[in-house]
Homo-oligomer: A and B are copies of this chain.
Amino acid sequence: MISTRTRLFGLIGDPVSHSLSPIMQNHLFKLFGLDGVYLAFRTAGERLAEAINGARALALAGLNVTIPHKSAVVPLCDYRSPEVELLGVANTLVFRDGRIHAFTTDHSGFVDSLGGEKSRFSGSRVLLFGAGGSARAVAFALARLGIARLTIVNRSRTRGEELAEFCSRELAISAVEAISPLDPVLGGKITEAAILINATACGMFPHIEESPLSAFDLIDRRHFIYDLVYNPRETRFMRESGARGAAVQGGLDMLIFQGLAALNHWFYSDYRLDPAEMKKLKSLLNRELA
């Protein structure tokens, strides 16, 4: 039962109406016996500082931060984790004794979501679609997973090259390049790569017929396809690749693991989900999806 001791958590972004985080986090609070409530706060960019300072004044316990505030929130915080400093984004704020601590859990959410597929990454060649905040978090994870070579595929060549330079300079990925999806070398890169990752919004509901890749004839059973999109459960990229024998993974596990990592920051704990709990949570979340 909610009482005066119940602590408040939430998601701040704009829009927030399609987020699964309230359902997920309230389910996890209940599962772990934590006295908290998690709500969605739609906040416009020009109100962000007021919202964050107000959350502190109201003694909120923690926030998740999503688009478009992940970068803008960083200078409003009192402490930034090394990952926040490096990536320039935060998705998890912890309020403690009137101070705001900023963390980011997207990269660890990606790594944790890999499970048994993690061994594929060391020494492998990876194609990463996208050059935004999610792609940057994935690139950080890929560096830690010890990949051999990274090809960033992005429509805007400038942004792709910026991320490539960041990967080379800050993440010490030695072999990194940026190409356009229209570049004729793309086919060869697909053939050489073991892993293709979509970190764009391409294929996300309601644009479910879109895909970061337009031709799938070079995909085969040697490939591992990871799509960060979780709505729909199976994107066109996953479906077409799977039909050609590739191993595929959608974005729901990453969503869960980044959320669990945020919860563990808030409660200074190390809660984990056993396979039955994971299955139950995925089923709960999948009911909300297209």
Contacts and interface: CB of A to CB of B under 8 A. Distances in A.
Range class of the A interface residue count: 35 or more
Given A1-B26, A2-B23, A39-B37, A12 B54 contact: no
Interface string A1-30: 111111010111000111100110010000
Interface string A29-46: 000000001111111000
A59 interface: yes
Contact of A58 (B3, B22, B54): B54
A42 B7 CA distance: 11
Interface string A230-241: 000000000000
Contacts of A180: none
A71 B10 CA distance: 29
24 contacts: A2-B23, A2-B37, A2-B38, A3-B22, A3-B40, A4-B11, A4-B16, A4-B18, A4-B22, A5-B17, A8-B39, A10-B58, A12-B58, A37-B37, A42-B59, A43-B57, A43-B58, A50-B54, A52-B54, A53-B53, A54-B54, A54-B55, A54-B56, A54-B57
